[in-house]
Amino acid sequence: MAELTAAASVPPGRAQPQAQGSALPRLDVATVRKDFPILERRVNGHRLVYLDSASSSQKPRAVLDAMEHYYETTHANVHRGVYTIAEEATALFEEARAKVARFIGAPDVSEVVFAKNVTEAINLVAQTWGRRHLGQGDAVLLTHMEHHANIVPWHMLSAERGFEVRWLPITDDGHLILDDLDRLLEGVKLVSLTAISNVLGTANPVRRVADAAHAAGALVLADAAQHVPHVRTRVADMACDFLGFTGHKMLGPTGIGCLWARRSLLEEMPPFLGGGEMIRDVRLDGFEPTEVPWKFEAGTPPIAEAVGLGAAVDYLEALGMDAVRAHEIELTGYAMRVLRERHGDAIQIHGPADPRDRGGVISFCYKDIHPHDLSQVLDQHGVCVRASHHCAKPLMRRLGVAATARASVYVYNDESDIDVLAEALAEADALLG
């Protein structure tokens, strides 16, 4: 019930218990929507129906204000000046780190490394831990549903270090096939998998994979880009060793994300980028890196972005992550039901059938209308969906499609957004079906 307590500290109506029958907290979407200035905008004569949060979420006024306030009152470089505003800026920057650490249940705040995004977080692990530990005869196990950000860094390093990149297959309805996991883990030093697929929505059993991986002597990296923004995240429960996520998908600004890793791992890993901030000493003949997490944060970091991310964490905690998750399951279930009822066999929705097994992501094909054309027609109704291969070309090939359209929901979406989508699809059908 911690969420309800947290909710009590925010303006009334933000989050409240369901009227009866269930103790689950519930989002008041109408109130939430008022916090997002962009939702007042009209596009092509229609209200904005934003269904692309899996790509990047919108920002509440609290985040925008926090960043503006920081620039107007406090900005200075961090970890350098001894004057007042520099100390305040440093305090705000480190406070943001502490908020993020709490948000994901990190045992130690120094385990949170700020990175640009998940892509950079995974590249960091590949280029530091991976370069030191992976070589010929070793393997990295990925899954068929990974984002390119969790494929290409391993291909790049494998070309150089000669280890094998191995693949965990999936079923037609988008679940990992784990029957053969123990055999596939032979020789594997790292399993790197998405916690929630950005295409299929599948919520993967990270804990189960991690337990098997650890038993086989491998470490586990969870790509949590679609998990941290949507599902209460506790690194200890996931039992992963590395976890990456990004701010702009969780109501925060672009340009800031995080790598979490166990402190012992971070300490043992060599630095990533070299430069200022990450050193203890620099001599003519070498350097000493500083301690974690700053060892991995060369150069002036995105300070205002960290402040904005901290404000986004505050906002999500005030809503209550259990309420966020419950809302998404409900709305995803509604969308799957309405789209199927309205469009029948014309629409093919990829991924697990049960909304409890998935995040708020619905990838679909509509007859043989190309997703680009679908998205173009939807845009005329103010509806934003992603139309592409979603940076997951191996998965597209596995599904036997070149691309899909993808609608994804977040805290500011409600049933009316789904209804507009369903209607607009009918127009696309009339024009191109």
Partner 1 sequence: MPGLEDLYREIILDHYRNPRNRGELPSPPARRVEGFNPLCGDEIVVYLLIEAGKVTDLRIAGQGCSISQSSASMMSSAVKGKTVEEAHALIRAFKSMMSIHEARLDQTAAEEAAGAEPEVKLGDLEALQGVVKFPVRIKCATLSWNTLAQALDGSA
What is the smallest separation between the CB atom of 369 and partner 1, expressed in angstroms? Answer: 8
Decide whether 150 or 388 has the Cβ nearer to partner 1.
Answer: 388
- Applying CB under 8 A, which part among 27-35, 60-68, 347-355, 383-391 lies near partner 1? 383-391
Does residue number 396 form part of the binding site for partner 1 (CB under 8 A)?
yes
What is the smallest separation between the CB atom of 215 and partner 1, expressed in angstroms? Answer: 38
Does residue number 370 form part of the binding site for partner 1 (CB under 8 A)?
yes
Q: Of residues 123, 388, 408, 413, which one binds partner 1 by CB under 8 A? A: 388
Report 350-369 residues binding partner 1 (CB under 8 A).
369
Decide whether 94 or 427 has the Cβ nearer to partner 1.
Answer: 427
Q: Of residues 27, 203, 266, 387, which one binds partner 1 by CB under 8 A? A: 387
Three-class SS of the chain: CHHHHHHHCCCCCCEEECCCCCCCEEECHHHHHHCCHHHHCEECCEECEECECCCCCCCCHHHHHHHHHHHHHCCCCCCCCCCHHHHHHHHHHHHHHHHHHHHCCCCCHHHEEEECCHHHHHHHHHHHHHHHHCCCCCEEEEECCCCHHHCHHHHHHHHHHCCEEEEECECCCCCECCCCHHHHCCCEEEEEEECECCCCCEECCHHHHHHHHHHCCCEEEEECCCCCCCCCCCHHHHCCCEEEEEHHHCCCCCCCEEEEECHHHHHHCCCCCCCCCCEEEEECCEEEECCCCHHHCCCCCCHHHHHHHHHHHHHHHHHCHHHHHHHHHHHHHHHHHHHHHHHHHHEEECCCCCHHHECCEEEEEECCECHHHHHHHHHCCCEECEEECCCCHHHHHHHCCCCEEEEECCCCCCHHHHHHHHHHHHHHHHHHC
Does residue number 7 form part of the binding site for partner 1 (CB under 8 A)?
no
Decide whether 271 or 371 has the Cβ nearer to partner 1.
Answer: 371
The size of the interface with partner 1 (CB under 8 A), counted in residues, is 19
What is the smallest separation between the CB atom of 119 and partner 1, expressed in angstroms? Answer: 17
Decide whether 336 or 403 has the Cβ nearer to partner 1.
Answer: 403
Q: Of residues 1, 30, 41, 44, which one binds partner 1 by CB under 8 A? A: 44
Does residue number 45 form part of the binding site for partner 1 (CB under 8 A)?
yes
What is the smallest separation between the CB atom of 35 and partner 1, expressed in angstroms? Answer: 28
What is the smallest separation between the CB atom of 413 and partner 1, expressed in angstroms? Answer: 24
Does residue number 77 form part of the binding site for partner 1 (CB under 8 A)?
no
Report 412-431 residues binding partner 1 (CB under 8 A).
431
Decide whether 249 or 381 has the Cβ nearer to partner 1.
Answer: 381
Which of 258, 365, 384, 391 is an active site residue?
A: 391
Using alpha carbons, list the distances in angstroms from residue 372 to 9, 212, 383, 405: 44, 41, 13, 8
What is the smallest separation between the CB atom of 393 and partner 1, expressed in angstroms? Answer: 7
* 240 is an active site residue: no
- Catalytically active residues are 391
Q: Which residues bind partner 1 (CB under 8 A)?
A: 44-45, 369-373, 376-377, 380, 387-389, 393, 396, 402-403, 431-432
